Amino acid sequence: MDPERWRKIEEIYHAALECEPGERAAFLLEACAGDDELLHEAESLLTFKERTGGFHGCPGYGSGC
Amino acid sequence: MQPSGHEITQLLRAWSGGDQGALERLAPLVYAELHRTAHRYMVRESPDHTLQTSALVNEVYLRLVDAQEVNWQDRAHFFGVCARLMRRVLTDFARSRGYLKRGGGSPHIALDEALVVSPEPRADLVALDEALNALAAIDPRKSQVVELRFFGELSSEETAEVLKVSPETVKRDWRLARVWLLREMSGERCHGS
């Protein structure tokens, strides 16, 4: 994946996390502007974050998480 | 001849100050000591003999460096080089025991617990090593953040010092990198172009 595209995904991913859960889907559609691959990648990462506990439970790293 | 703690400390300070040549001289010395110390724990017969990587690195630090002479930034750089070398030591050990990359399924590494050196190397370290290489290809800094935090157990602040970015950047990088790596190791990633 080219780094520029990855930076875009990263930007959308972090912005989506800031959204209220009910607004996230609409935000993603707008931010990805018809780019299905981008949308798929962002959704996939967000889904995986939910599934793996995301920010919670980092005993080894103190407040850094 | 084994260099003195003072010499190693001088190399460490020069590297923190931007002298890459000093790192080239420092790395083999640290690797030898780290390898020796790690193997002492790995070859013990009882799996109960485990040690957190941070404790191991600390042991090496105290043996090699004149702790009185270094500030926290130099110390962070020392732990930084150890993290990189620790990844190599542990992954090579797992590979030498015949562990191959895991194919799919849920990864065992959660990336949220302290890494342990023990006579039972974790097979998923090989998968993590390969996932980190894949991450480095698209985002080298995130790969380094994981290396420093997971293999070296550096704090966000220490990681930030080594990479010359802000601690906030380190925290953001860590959060996304962790999710990306867990997905990569699970084999669920949809590889796009």
Q: What is the pLDDT of residue B121?
A: 67
If pLDDT is split at 50, 70 and 90, which confidence band does A30 have? very high
Inside any domain, residue B193? no
**Does the residue B191 lie in any domain?**
no
Maximum pairwise Cα distance, chain B: 52
B58 with B131: CB under 8 angstroms?
A: no
Q: What is the pLDDT, as a whole number, of residue B45?
A: 65
Would residue B53 count as lying in a domain? Answer: yes
- The torsion region of residue B103 among left (phi > 0), alpha (psi -120 to 50) and beta comes to beta
Average pLDDT of the segment spanning A4-19: 94
pLDDT score, position A24: 94
Average predicted confidence (pLDDT) for chain A: 83
Cβ <8 Å between A65 and B171: yes
Q: Which of B113, B139, B183 sits opposite A44 (nearest CB)?
A: B183
Q: Each residue of B44-79: pLDDT tens digit?
A: 766 677 778 888 888 899 889 888 888 888 888 898
Measure Cα distances from B153 to B71, B112, B115, B158, B189 in Å. Answer: 18, 11, 8, 9, 27
Range of the domain at B65: 5-186
Say what the pLDDT of residue A46 is. Answer: 94
Residues of chain B with pLDDT under 70: 1-2, 45-47, 98-108, 121, 189-193
Contact: A60, B172; criterion CB under 8 Å:
no
**Cβ of B192 and A58 within 8 Å?**
no
pLDDT at B119: 75
Q: Which of B149, B180, B183 sits opposite A61 (nearest CB)?
A: B149
| Residue of A14, A41, A64 with shortest CB distance to B155 | A64
Q: Which two tokens stand for residue A22?
A: 């009910």
Predicted structure pTM score: 0.83
> Is residue B148 in some structural domain?
yes
B192 falls within a domain: no
ipTM above 0.85, yes or no: no
Residue B144 sits at the vertex; the CA angle it makes with B143 and B149, to the nearest 5 degrees, is 105
> How many folded domains does chain B comprise?
1
Residue A58 confidence class, pLDDT cut points 50, 70, 90: very low
Give the per-residue pLDDT at B17.
85
Q: Which residues are CB-neighbours of B46 under 8 A, at least 6 positions away?
A: B119
pLDDT of residue A36: 95
Distance from CA of A44 to the nearest CA of B (A): 8
Distances (CA, A) of B84 to A8, A12, B147: 28, 30, 6
* Residue B39 counted as domain residue: yes
- The verdict on B114 touching A (C-beta cutoff 8 Å) is yes
Question: If you average pLDDT over residues A15-36, what whole number do you get?
Answer: 94
